[in-house]
């Protein structure tokens, strides 16, 4: 060797690259051939990215068969092989805005004579299914083939012919030969229903809609495939022989649609990269509103002549990019399983996880629901587990990874539900035939704590500064054992507590004091009556007007109230009949807590028979919230609007009164608001809007 070796790989780097190649090959086979992936797509992507980076830093490490140079997986041998006349390529990914911008910059470099800012892009949902090539000869379905390794796929014609969405005959006019490319997928609702049936029948369930589609297509018996609820979206054209007048991708989609092929209604033609980014954001925000799963947006240069000029690399076109959404599934280590006690005494097992970024936030804790769920999932401390979080949904542990290179060699024994309450030490009880386990000690400090925390929470009495930590302290110091005690607190003694100065003591007392005037519906929520949520509580409060009327009503009367059924009615009557609960109510009333619903006459609807008008500063006004308003979950922000008599729909229209813009807002909502001239309110002024019902000036 004559000189330094700037890009030469050390042994450690070379060995990591080879390890990554093996790992990727292993997981590729699990995914493409066995339809049984062990790790989430995002983890797989991370392995490929790591290898790609190593290869970029050390070009001498690149091998021709590296997974970074190839597509998909070779044919399985189950079906006859089909050679694609035009290779079925993969797509390059952009995992964030910067990577998308880098792709746009590359377009600018490759097309110096084109104004990229005015370029048309076709933005299409990236459906999570199985890529399929479907060939029509003289308008009749002739062959369907999987992508395989991109050059050779598998002949699954008989199976694809059972998919209802795939027409057997095209509408004229059609070219003599037309190869349609698209995605076979399973709609989300059908996937859930299918798994439910399989669970009931004790047959194999699928981990996600994509695997359901892949497994269904891999059936040897087409009659089996026919029983699976598969669907198809056509998204492009491969080999064509004959007249095909498309000059752009959007033309092609129109022609496919006219020929009778299903084309996603969510594909959009936009002008300029900024609008393409806005469309990506919009689809990301609404991904769970779509009836099928998508994992990103495919952005394509619309003009076919420009596509030809841009060309392809060995594995992917330069004219398209897949903008991938943040992962909703990742693997991480399960550190421990613990049990928390709720306000009703329910003991809920939860997973303490090695924190992992999933579904847009870092997750360290996830509920495991109950004893049976832990057993069914067979998750054990020390396991490598898959964590799932879709949109605003609560994080969930899907199950352990027990095979493959990353799984622990030796697992710990199955976890056992504790016999004693972790808070009070009393026995935990699980009744025959029930799935939940309870701490039945009504004096249990954890239950007391949770009852007060719920009472003070934002959707209940909304007491500022009274979170879980503070409540725990009040209980520990013997200053409160139930919600009514809060109203006896005085700033003097509070100020002496740890981490509490005079100012915060005064603020806390003021916050508690302010909650005295909350309307009856919030008090009802705060009491934590089983089955009674904010909507039911509002219906009930409007119906009765005052707590006294409610106390005098029987279950049948309450069950007749619009929005209240026999289950809630029974729960309310049972709750109010309990002497312990009655004492707390009496003490709350004695402490000056309001027990009436404003704007509703004494006796409410029960007395007058007339529905009472909801009072509130936002009555009749519609306020759309986009992005996160600090201090509120999406639900709480919308609830705050509803509590003031307003409506909070999911989309902007001419009738919208205001659009509140929080962190990471949906670009579509803000731009629509601007286009329609609807006032946009900054998240910092949300409180003012709620207070006054007017656009903050």
- Residues with a known catalytic role: 126
Which listed residue (54, 75, 91, 600) binds ligand IVH by CB under 6 A? 91
Min dist CB 235 to ligand IVH, Å, is: 4
Q: Based on the shown chain and the rule CB under 6 A, indicate whether residue 262 belongs to the binding site for ligand IVH.
A: no
Query: Closer CB to ligand IVH, residue 290 or residue 335?
Result: 290
Task: Name the one range near ligand IVH by CB under 6 A: 84-92, 110-118, 378-386, 544-552.
Answer: 84-92
Q: Give me the least distance between CB of 132 and ligand IVH, in Å please.
A: 8
What are the tokens at 679?
């006032």
183 lies in the site for ligand IVH, by CB under 6 A = yes
- Cα distances (angstroms) measured from residue 152 to each of 68, 192, 523, 600: 18, 32, 67, 72
Beta carbons of 428 and 438 less than 8 angstroms apart: yes
Secondary structure of residue 93 in the 3-state scheme: strand
Q: Does 135 bind ligand IVH (CB under 6 A)?
A: no
Count the site residues for ligand IVH by CB under 6 A. 14
Answer for which of 35, 41, 55, 124 binds ligand IVH (CB under 6 A) is: 124
Q: Are 673 and 287 in contact (CB under 8 A)?
A: no
In Å, how far from its chain's centre is CA 537? Answer: 28
Closer to ligand IVH by Cβ: residue 185 or 657: 185
Q: Which stretch binds ligand IVH (CB under 6 A): 108-116, 316-324, 563-571, 689-697?
A: 316-324
Least distance in angstroms from the C-beta of 254 to ligand IVH: 15
Nearest CA to 598 among 526, 538, 528, 687? 538
CA distance 101 to 93: 12
Tokens representing residue 233 in the block: 């979206």
Q: Which residues of 183-193 are buried (b: 16+ CB within 10 A; e: fewer)?
A: bbbbbbebbee
Phi, psi of 79 (to 5 degrees): -125, 165
From the CB of residue 240, how many other CB atoms can be counted at a distance below 10 Å?
A: 18
- Shortest CB 134 distance to ligand IVH, Å: 12
180 binds ligand IVH (CB under 6 A): no
Q: Considering the rule CB under 6 A, would residue 68 count as an interface residue with ligand IVH?
A: no
Check binding of 320 to ligand IVH (CB under 6 A). yes
- Closest approach, Cβ 103 to ligand IVH, in A, equals 14
Give the range of 123-131, 324-332, 417-425, 650-658 binding ligand IVH by CB under 6 A: 123-131
User: Which span sits near ligand IVH by CB under 6 A: 89-97, 199-207, 400-408, 630-638?
Assistant: 89-97
Give the tokens for residue 7: 């890009």
Closer to ligand IVH by CB, 232 or 657: give it.
232
Q: How far is the CB of 240 from ligand IVH (least distance, A)?
A: 15
d(CA 133, CA 154): 10
Instruction: For the CB of residue 90, give the shortest distance to ligand IVH in the complex, in Å.
Output: 4
Q: Residue 205 Cβ, how far from ligand IVH at the closest point, in Å?
A: 23
> Is-contact 248 319, C-beta < 8 A?
no
Task: Compute CA distances 634 → 289, 299, 360, 650, whole Å.
Answer: 16, 29, 14, 11
What gap in Å lies between CA 445 and CA 535, rounded to an integer? Answer: 29
Position 89 contacts ligand IVH (CB under 6 A) = yes
Considering the complex, what minimum distance in angstroms separates the CB of residue 316 from ligand IVH? Answer: 7
- Give the nearer residue to ligand IVH in terms of CB position, either 124 or 643: 124
Among the listed residues 28, 66, 68, 90, the single contact to ligand IVH using CB under 6 A: 90
CB 622 within 8 A of CB 659: no
State the pairing for strand pair 384-388/329-341: antiparallel
Pairing of β 658-661 and β 680-682: parallel
Tell me the residue number closest to ligand IVH, measured at CB: 131
**C-beta of 157: minimal distance to ligand IVH in Å?**
18
Rule CB under 6 A: say whether 640 interacts with ligand IVH.
no
- DSSP helix/strand/coil, 614: coil
Does 131 sit near ligand IVH (CB under 6 A)?
yes
| Helix/strand/coil for 60 | helix
The closest alpha carbon to 244, from 366, 236, 324, belongs to 236
Nearer to ligand IVH, 131 or 474 (CB): 131
Which segment (87-95, 444-452, 571-579, 651-659) binds ligand IVH by CB under 6 A?
Answer: 87-95
298 binds ligand IVH (CB under 6 A): yes
Secondary structure in 3-state letters for 313-335: CCCCECCEEEEECCCCEEEEEEE
Minimum distance from residue 72 beta carbon to ligand IVH (Å): 8
Q: By C-beta, is 317 or 326 nearer to ligand IVH?
A: 317
3-state secondary structure 620-667: CCEEEEECECCCCCHHHHHHHHHHCCCECCCCCCCCCCEEEECECCCH
For residue 323, the cross-strand partners are: 94, 297
Which x/- pattern, by CB under 6 A, does the window 462-501 give for ligand IVH?
----------------------------------------
Q: Are 153 and 75 in contact, with CB atoms under 8 Å apart?
A: yes
Smaller CB distance to ligand IVH: residue 125 or 646? 125
Q: Does the footprint of ligand IVH cover residue 127 (CB under 6 A)? A: yes
CB-based burial label for 338 (10 Å; 0-12, 13-18, 19+):
middle
Query: x/- binding map, residues 220-239, to ligand IVH, per CB under 6 A?
Result: ---------------xx---
17 and 11 Cβ atoms separated by less than 8 Å: no
Q: Tell me whether residue 10 or residue 313 sits nearer to ligand IVH (CB atom).
A: 313
> In what helix (H) or strand (E) does residue 61 lie, and over which residues does it extend?
none
Beta bridge partner(s), residue 93: 322
Stretch that binds ligand IVH, among 56-64, 122-130, 283-291, 346-354 (CB under 6 A): 122-130
Separation between Cα atoms, residue 290 and residue 308, nearest integer Å: 32
Interface pick for ligand IVH out of 30, 32, 126, 380 (rule CB under 6 A)? 126
Contact 455, 487 (CB under 8 A): no
The answer to whether residue 317 forms part of the interface with ligand IVH (CB under 6 A) is yes
Q: Verify binding: residue 588, ligand IVH, rule CB under 6 A.
A: no
Closer by beta carbon to ligand IVH, 154 or else 449: 154
- Give 48 or 322: the residue with its C-beta nearer to ligand IVH: 322
- Which stretches of the chain bind ligand IVH, using CB under 6 A? 89-91, 124, 126-127, 131, 183, 235-236, 298, 317, 320, 322
């Amino acid at each position: 060797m004559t000189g330094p070796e700037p890009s030469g790989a050390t042994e450690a780097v070379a060995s990591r690259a080879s390890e990554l190649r093996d790992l990727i090959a292993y997981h590729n086979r699990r995914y493409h051939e066995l339809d049984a992936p062990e790790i989430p797509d995002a983890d797989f992507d991370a392995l490929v990215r790591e290898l790609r980076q190593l290869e970029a830093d050390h070009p001498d490490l690149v091998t021709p068969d590296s997974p970074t140079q190839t597509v998909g997986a070779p044919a399985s041998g189950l079906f006859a092989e089909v050679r694609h006349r035009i290779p079925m390529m993969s797509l390059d990914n952009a995992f964030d805005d910067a990577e998308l911008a880098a792709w746009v910059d590359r377009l600018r470099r490759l097309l110096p004579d084109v104004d990229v800012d005015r370029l048309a892009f076709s933005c299409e949902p990236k459906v999570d299914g199985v890529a399929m090539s479907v060939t029509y000869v003289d308008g009749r379905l002739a062959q369907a083939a999987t992508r395989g390794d991109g050059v050779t796929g598998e002949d699954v014609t008989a199976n694809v012919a059972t998919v209802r969405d795939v027409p057997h005959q095209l509408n004229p006019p059609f070219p003599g030969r037309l190869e349609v490319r698209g995605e076979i997928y399973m709609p989300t609702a059908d996937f859930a229903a299918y798994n439910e049936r399989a669970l009931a029948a004790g047959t194999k369930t699928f981990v996600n809609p994509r695997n359901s589609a892949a497994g269904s297509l891999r059936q040897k018996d087409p009659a089996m495939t026919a029983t699976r609820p598969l669907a198809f979206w056509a998204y492009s054209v491969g080999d064509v022989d004959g007249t095909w007048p498309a000059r752009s991708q959007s033309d092609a989609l129109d022609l496919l649609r006219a020929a009778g092929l299903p084309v996603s209604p969510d594909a959009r033609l936009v002008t300029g990269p900024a609008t393409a980014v806005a469309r990506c954001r919009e689809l990301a925000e609404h991904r769970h509103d779509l009836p099928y799963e998508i994992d990103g947006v495919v952005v394509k240069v619309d003009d076919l002549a420009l596509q030809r000029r841009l060309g392809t690399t060995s594995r992917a076109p330069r004219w398209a990019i897949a903008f991938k959404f943040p992962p909703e599934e990742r693997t991480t280590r399960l550190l421990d399983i613990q049990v928390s006690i709720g306000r009703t005494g329910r003991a809920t097992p939860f997973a303490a996880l090695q924190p992992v970024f999933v579904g847009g936030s870092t997750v360290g804790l996830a509920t495991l629901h109950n004893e049976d769920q832990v057993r069914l999932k067979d998750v054990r401390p020390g396991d490598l587990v898959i964590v799932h979080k879709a949109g605003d949904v609560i994080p969930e542990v899907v199950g352990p990874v027990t095979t493959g290179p990353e799984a622990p060699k030796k697992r710990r024994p199955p976890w056992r539900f504790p016999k004693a309450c972790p808070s009070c030490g009393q026995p935990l009880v699980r009744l025959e035939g029930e799935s939940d386990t309870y701490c039945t000690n009504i004096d249990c400090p954890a239950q007391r704590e949770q009852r007060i925390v719920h009472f003070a929470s934002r959707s209940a009495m909304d007491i500022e500064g009274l979170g879980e930590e503070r409540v725990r302290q009040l209980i520990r110091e013997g200053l409160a054992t139930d919600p009514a005690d809060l109203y006896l607190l005085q700033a003097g003694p509070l100020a002496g507590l740890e981490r509490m100065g005079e100012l915060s003591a005064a603020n806390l007392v003021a916050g508690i004091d302010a909650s005295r005037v909350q309307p009856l519906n919030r008090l009802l929520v705060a009491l934590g009556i089983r089955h009674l949520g904010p909507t039911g509580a509002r219906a009930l409060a409007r119906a009765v007007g005052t707590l006294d009327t409610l106390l005098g009503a029987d279950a049948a009367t309450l069950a007749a109230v619009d929005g209240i059924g026999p289950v809630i009615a029974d729960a309310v009557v049972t709750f109010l009949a309990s002497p312990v609960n009655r004492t707390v109510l009496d003490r709350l009333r004695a402490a000056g807590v309001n027990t009436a619903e404003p704007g509703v006459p004494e006796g409410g609807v029960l007395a007058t028979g007339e529905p009472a008008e909801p009072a509130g500063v936002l009555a009749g006004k519609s306020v759309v919230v986009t992005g996160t308003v600090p201090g509120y979950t999406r639900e709480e922000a919308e609830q705050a609007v509803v509590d003031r008599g307003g409506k909070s729909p999911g989309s902007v229209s001419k009738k919208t009164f205001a659009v509140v813009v929080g962190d990471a807002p949906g670009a579509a909502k803000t731009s629509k608001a601007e286009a329609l001239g609807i006032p946009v309110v900054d998240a910092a002024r949300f409180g003012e809007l709620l207070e006054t019902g007017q656009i903050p000036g």
